[in-house]
Amino acid sequence: MSATPNVETNELPHRYTAAYANAVEVKWQESLRWPDGKGYGYRQPNPGEAGFDASKPKFYCLDMFPYPSGAGLHVGHPEGYTATDIICRYKKLKGFNVLHPMGWDAFGLPAEQYAIQTGVHPEVTTKKAIDNFRRQLQRFGFMYDWSREFATIDPDYYRWTQWIWLLAYESWFDPSVRKARAISELAARFARENAEIAVAASGAAKKWSDCTRREQQAHLDTFRLAYLGTQTVNWCPKLGTVLANEEIIDGRSERGGHPVKRMPLKQWMFRITSYADRLLEDLALVDWPEMTRTLQTEWIGRSEGAEIRFAVEGDGEPLSVFTTRPDTLFGATYMVVAPEHPLVARAISRGNSGKLAEYVSWAKNRSDIDRQASKEKTGCATGLFAINPATGARIPVWTADYVLMGYGTGAIMAVPAHDERDFEFAKAFALPIVQVVEIDGVAFTGEAATAGEGRAVNSANAATVSINGLTTADAKKTVIAWLEKQGIGALRVNYRLRDWLFSRQRYWGEPFPIVYDADGNHYPVSVASLPLTLPPLADYSPVESDVPQPPLAKAREWTHTTAGAAGVDPALLPANTPVVRETNTMPGWAGSCWYYLRYCSPKDSSHFVSPEAERYWMLSRKKSVADAPAPTSYDAATCPAGGVDLYVGGSEHAVLHLLYARFWHKMLFDLGHVSTPEPMGKLFHQGLITSYAYQRADKTLVPNDQVEERGEGNFVETATGAKVAQIVAKMSKSLKNVVNPDDVIAEYGADTFRLYEMYMGPLEASKPWNTRDIVGVFRFLQRAWRLAVDERTGELLCAASADPKIEKLLHRTIHKVGEDIERLSFNTAIAAMIELLNAATRPTGMTDPAQGGMTRDQLERFARILWPFAPHFADELGSKLGVKGGLNGGFYASAWPSHDAALLVDDEVEMPVQIQGKIKARLMVPTKADAAAVEALALAHADVIAAIAGRPVKKVVVVPGRMVNIVV
């Protein structure tokens, strides 16, 4: 369109060109802009506010909020946002109160790194990026209620993030009722029962009443949901930062090649493992993609088995292992512990052999990449021996890096006959292999492990137990019962999920509201003193140091304060006590764990979310009982478990973000702060928008600006003239195939952009951006405009009377578009509207426009179903049609058009007649005709008689309205 000569524009001033579209879009956006200038268009009042209609049902639709990067929006952002905008506008027309908010996930590393380089405060760069994102999103015309906007970096917001963290700090998980409770209840119980507790310092048990206050606190600390734990981290003294495993190569930092020390660090943790079972079970309550639920299930990694304690000769402590196959205990011929296991250190300190120490230091420094590159078993005997409690045999204890310290107890009993890894290890080090399971149809040859279930063999000892002949399931039960009787083991459930490390040695995150006294005891900052705001720093660069020092440690005036100034409750610590603030900050996940709740009442200054607003937006009735009065509390039988009705975002957040948010939500639910057990009801992942890229014969990629098309589908590298293949690839700067939304809007307008992204294909599919195709939907809008508006005068062009065929098709289109929106099938909805337009388009030669097109009333209904997709276009057309603006103008206050179900069916349908499954004839039959009548009509058809050619008819299958199949 940019090639259209100016002459044309002058002759046809009301043609729907890119410039016209842009002007119309900006005009509508500005006409609806609020006096404060911050947003425009639509506000959804809360219960109790002016303009709130309590008679309407609620629809809470949420987009995963973006991290506002300096680069601005890319075309992937508007894909999900357009989809939710369409649904929300549709739901609005269908009579719902719609909550559709937007905000910013604004703490994060890029702004901090920029600050390190330039000294500019991250807040400055972040706010600038937010302003740019907001401008771009508003240009798309998304129907967000901008009055609810906030960023995770706003002290008014992170005040409540800190508040929730304090709540976790003040809570524990009571396994007897499987829920969180206030820690004060636990303290009261200890006092009431005067329980004996283990005192950390001495290890001895002591009565509660005999403990000092400090001893009591220390004991309670072991129960808190937010607790201080010791974790081994990769500290790089030169970079002054903690590195992730993948940032380390051969014990040195990927960046700069500096040495990295593995060292223990006290950090704040969340006891998410307490919630493992509920996080697992409640996946059944939500409407989420199967893939996402599977990922979460595997991440939690629940497995049932037994813990077995083996006595170790000459070592005071029994060696505890976890196994899922206690039935194979008789086949355990050796033990393996992780190199980090404390038993190994004890073995070394006993000076057994230099080889062991050498292996351990080698294994510990082996990078993850090295470990993954080769599955070859390495290991070293510790010189220690354990006793197999079932056989009484003396079995060697080895250490090997195939046993992971982080899983189970960091030690295994090795059953080489029935575990592939143990088998390989036994072969490599010539350890004995004993068969104890016989599997039907699988011979045990000693050449490979047999890992399945079967019946136990060789599994009896003289005195106490025999499981020979039992199935694996029965054998497990028998062995566990025996272990329990002997007091050396028990049934145990193990998880892959580990507690959540919540501390980061960074500046740009939420500070922890906690202080330490001179002895290192921690005290919470009182809720009344929140928010605890981040102090500005002169220099954001990390501190070079052998001991981890987060950037906040530099703010000495801020960190060194008194209990009173920090806001610690004087009952806990006298006000004049000198204290030091926590200098770690919270990770990026913190703010995104509960933002959906804050949107319900973003301005509430006395609650993290107003209880009334939370109840209205999060709690509802299931569709089957939608008529019942609004619920006041959660009822599993009649209420959906998830509060947000539709959550749309990328599948890259399928595990961590969604698991962490669920954990916080359940904790809040247990403590009575939210109404539902799950945060998100229906979850949807939009697909990735990819781009074309070009590949040389040797599979290397060529940037797009170095490729030209010579002839249809024939791409060559400009410099060499060599042929390159067009492939689909992720958009990347280096390939020069990134599409900038601003450019596309300038060239076609936001409505065309929105339509194109929805028309590309199914929302969940990954699909390539093809610039050439955009013109298709642009032409659709142009043709729709031309159908209704005289391009020279701007006057309406309406049909004088309704064509019944068009009227019928319009009803069908209204029906189909509504259905397709409900099932998020936007591409087919748009195709249906194009079909309607194709049918209504006037032929060139028609001199009187009133003879064709659509009537004013039909155009208005057409504009209304188009409105969710192309709102500016539809509203502009609506204003020409004389639609009176509602409260907010345009179609916003309007309703979805109705359709007449009777018009959805034809009187007659064409049915194909197949003979042996091949179509031989077509016949028109009345829609109401029954199978017998259709069969008679089909058999009487001349073409059918010819095709049968006198052969006897064996069978006739009639599917009314579909087809007839004759078998001869």
Partner RNA sequence: GCCGGUGUGGCGGAACUGGCAGACGCAGCGGAUUCAAAAUCCGCCGCCCCCUAAAGGCUUGCAGGUUCGAUUCCUGUCACCGGCACCA
- Tell me which residues in 873-912 interact with RNA (CB under 7 A): 909-912
Q: What is the closest distance, in whole angstroms, from the C-beta atom of residue 24 to RNA in the complex?
A: 18
Going 254 to 118 to 505 to 553, the CA torsion angle's sign is positive
Nearer to RNA, 9 or 212 (CB): 9
Minimum CB distance to RNA, residue 660 (Å): 15
Give whole-number Cα distances, 687 to 648, 721, 728, 763, in Å: 11, 35, 14, 6
Asked if 109 touches RNA (CB under 7 A), the answer is: no
Instruction: Write down the least CB distance from residue 334 to RNA, Å.
Output: 13
Least distance (Å) between residue 469 CB and RNA: 22
Of residues 278 and 377, the one with the C-beta less far from RNA = 377
Q: Which stretch binds RNA (CB under 7 A): 317-325, 694-702, 864-872, 880-888?
A: 317-325
* 955-959 and 963-967 strand pairing: antiparallel
In this complex, which beta carbon is closest to RNA, that of residue 258 or of residue 783?
A: 783
Work out the angle between the directed axes of helices 18-31 and 741-748 (0-180°, nearest 10): 110
Determine which residue in the list 104, 114, 594, 759 makes contact with RNA, applying CB under 7 A.
759
- Note whether 959 binds RNA by CB under 7 A: yes
> What separation in angstroms does the CA of 21 have from each of 9, 488, 831, 877, 890?
13, 77, 21, 12, 16
By CB under 7 A, is residue 4 in contact with RNA?
yes
Our measurement of the distance from residue 141's CA atom to the centroid of its chain's CA atoms, rounded to an integer in Å, reads 25
Distances (CA, A) of 207 to 151, 184, 186: 48, 18, 15
> How many separate helices (H) and strands (E) can be counted in the chain?
30, 37
Backbone torsion region of residue 37, taken as left when φ is above 0, otherwise alpha when ψ lies between -120 and 50, otherwise beta:
left
- Of the pair 629, 917, the CB lying nearest RNA is at 917
Tell me whether residue 187 or residue 738 sits nearer to RNA (CB atom).
738
Nearer to RNA, 160 or 785 (CB): 785
Residues 455-494 that bind RNA (CB under 7 A): 494
Question: Residue 525's closest CA among 866, 159, 772, 136?
Answer: 159
The Cα–Cα gap between 99 and 97 comes to 7
Least distance CB 904 / RNA (angstroms): 12
Among the listed ranges 68-76, 190-198, 300-308, 383-391, the one in contact with RNA (CB under 7 A) is: 300-308
| Count of residues in contact with RNA, rule CB under 7 A | 89
Nearer to RNA, 378 or 610 (CB): 378
Tell which one of 372, 624, 734, 847 touches RNA (CB under 7 A).
Answer: 372
Minimum CB distance to RNA smaller for 171 or for 328: 328
Nearer to RNA, 482 or 769 (CB): 769
Minimum distance, C-beta of residue 662 to RNA, in the bound complex (Å): 18
Phi, psi for residue 475 in degrees, rounded to 5: -60, -40
Query: Mask 398-427, x = binds RNA (CB under 7 A)?
Result: ---xxxx-xxx-x-x------x-x------
User: Which residues within the stretch 919-938 sit at the binding site for RNA (CB under 7 A)?
Assistant: 919, 922
Q: Which span sits near RNA by CB under 7 A: 168-176, 289-297, 351-359, 606-614? A: 289-297
What are the C-alpha distances in Å from 400 to residues 291, 385, 411? 34, 15, 10
Site string for RNA, 630-659 (x = CB under 7 A): ---------------------xx-------
3-class SS of residue 89: helix
| Closest by CA position to 491, among listed 477, 505, 501, 507 | 477
What token pair was written down for 520?
Answer: 């290192």
Site for RNA in 568-587 (CB under 7 A): none
Site for RNA in 805-844 (CB under 7 A): 816, 819-820, 823, 825, 827-828, 830-831, 834-835, 838, 841, 843-844
Strands 58-63 and 226-236: unpaired
End-to-end CA distance of the chain: 59
Question: Taking CB under 7 A as the rule, which mask of x and - marks residues 5-44 in contact with RNA?
Answer: ---x------------------------------------
Tell me whether residue 250 or residue 635 sits nearer to RNA (CB atom): 250
CB 913 within 8 A of CB 904: no
**Least distance to RNA from the beta carbon of 268, Å?**
23
Q: Let me know: does 689 contact 680? Beta carbons within 8 Å.
A: no
Q: Which of 918, 924, 932, 951 binds RNA (CB under 7 A)?
A: 918
Nearest residue (CB) to RNA, 623 versus 955: 955
Task: Give one word for 338, left, alpha or beta, with left for phi > 0 and alpha for psi -120 to 50.
Answer: beta
Among 712, 743, 848, 907, binds RNA (CB under 7 A): 712
Q: Which is nearer to RNA, 611 or 761 (CB)?
A: 761
Joined tokens for residue 967: 């078998």
Contact residue for RNA among 539, 773, 908, 930 (CB under 7 A): 773
Minimum separation from the CB atom of position 588 to RNA (A): 17
Q: Cβ closer to RNA: 251 or 912? A: 912
Chain residues 423-452 in contact with RNA, contact rule CB under 7 A: none
> Which DSSP helix (H) or strand (E) runs through 871?
helix 871-880
Query: If you compute the radius of gyration of the chain from its CA atoms, what whole number of angstroms results?
Result: 35
Closest alpha carbon to 533 in 525, 521, 541: 525
Token readout for 537 is: 């720093």
Residue type, 719: A
Q: Which member of 100, 786, 811, 872 binds RNA (CB under 7 A)?
A: 786
Q: Among 266, 150, 108, which residue's Cα sits nearest to residue 603?
A: 150
Of residues 716 through 735, those in contact with RNA by CB under 7 A are: 730
- The least CB distance from residue 451 to RNA, in Å, is 10
